[in-house]
């Protein structure tokens, strides 16, 4: 029987290890199956017919896959950089200030894409950009970059704001006491301390943009498929281990990005 004076710890509750292991098993088993069948020699994604790299080679030699992959990375990189810059400015403006009426409303407004269903955001962007397309005649990738940026800003904002809220204000105060201008104090004191949060926000925004389907499907014009929308179109026709191979490569890429930024952030700390 547990001692009533001990602090509550969910890890010590009966059955917690079993439930935790079961959750991880159910979460990662489909991913493991996807990766395994990427190396299947046959056409099936359910019957093992031997080991082969043919589907990785097929994806590498598929011009549409290469084109969609390059487009996805370009859009994700541009959207992540812009979203991170905007999120950094918003985080500084909403944390390095006194409390005032309307500040909580600004928090809610910045984080609104997280609370509103993605399909609602997609339809709103479709209507908004369609009017601009009709007025300007422009139908390039700028719309996708703008849409992804708008959706990724709160994902970049949250870790940057969290980092700012845990930073010691005494260093910034000391810089101001030494006659540093606000911009110089930000550049020489705040920004170096903020880098781990900025890198985390950039990484999160990049990954979110890279695998977005709903907003991309609504906003894109003809011939602007990203890799997720291309894969969705292919899955509607025929399912082959080539899709597994593509997914495996992007899984490895995502893990590599997370690992690199983890070590960079730890070094910065």
Q: What is the mean pLDDT of residues 77-100?
A: 88
State the pLDDT confidence band at 118, using cuts at 50, 70 and 90. confident
State the pLDDT confidence band at 111, using cuts at 50, 70 and 90. confident
What is the CATH code of the structural domain delimited by 63-222? Answer: 1.10.3720.10
**pLDDT for the residue 207:** 87
Does the pTM surpass 0.75? The reply is yes
Single out the residue of 101, 260, 224, 76 nearest to residue 152, CA to CA.
76
Is the model's pLDDT at 1 over the cut of 60? no
Residue 1 makes CB contacts below 8 A (sequence gap 6+) with none
Q: What is the pLDDT of residues 171-225, one digit of tens each?
A: 777 877 777 777 787 777 777 888 888 888 898 899 889 888 899 999 988 888 8
Among the residue ranges 127-136, 154-163, 182-191, the one predicted with the least confidence is 182-191
Give the number of other CB atoms < 10 A from CB of residue 227.
25
Task: Compute φ and ψ for 50, nearest 5 degrees.
Answer: 115, 165
Interior CA angle at 151 toward 149 and 157, to 5°? 85
Per-domain boundaries in the chain:
63-222
Interior CA angle at 68 toward 63 and 74, to 5°? 130
Q: What is the pLDDT of residues 4-25, one digit of tens each?
A: 556 666 667 777 788 888 888 8
């Amino acid at each position: 029987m547990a001692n009533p004076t001990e602090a509550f710890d969910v890890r010590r509750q009966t059955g917690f290890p079993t439930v935790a292991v079961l959750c991880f098993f159910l979460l990662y088993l489909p991913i493991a199956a996807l990766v395994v069948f990427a190396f299947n020699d046959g056409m099936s994604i359910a019957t093992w017919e031997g080991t082969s790299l043919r589907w990785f080679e097929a994806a590498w030699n598929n011009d549409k896959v290469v084109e969609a992959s390059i487009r996805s990375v370009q859009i994700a990189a541009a959207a992540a950089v812009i979203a991170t810059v905007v999120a950094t400015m918003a985080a500084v403006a909403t944390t390095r200030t006194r409390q005032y009426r309307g500040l909580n409303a600004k928090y809610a407004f910045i984080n609104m894409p997280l609370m509103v269903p993605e399909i609602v955001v997609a339809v709103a962007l479709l209507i908004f950009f369609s009017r601009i397309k009709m007025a300007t005649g422009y139908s390039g990738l700028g719309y996708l970059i703008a849409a992804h940026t708008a959706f990724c800003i709160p994902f970049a904002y949250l870790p940057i704001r969290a980092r700012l809220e845990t930073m010691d204000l005494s260093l910034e105060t000391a810089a101001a006491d030494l006659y540093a201008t606000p911009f110089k104090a930000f550049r020489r004191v705040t920004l170096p301390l903020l880098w781990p949060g900025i890198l985390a926000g950039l990484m999160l925004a990049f990954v979110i943009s890279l695998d977005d389907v709903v907003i991309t499907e609504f906003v894109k014009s003809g011939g602007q498929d990203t890799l997720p929308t291309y894969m969705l179109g292919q899955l509607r026709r025929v399912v082959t281990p080539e899709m597994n191979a593509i997914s495996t490569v992007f899984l490895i890429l995502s893990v590599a990005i997370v690992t690199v930024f983890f070590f960079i952030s730890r070094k910065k700390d």
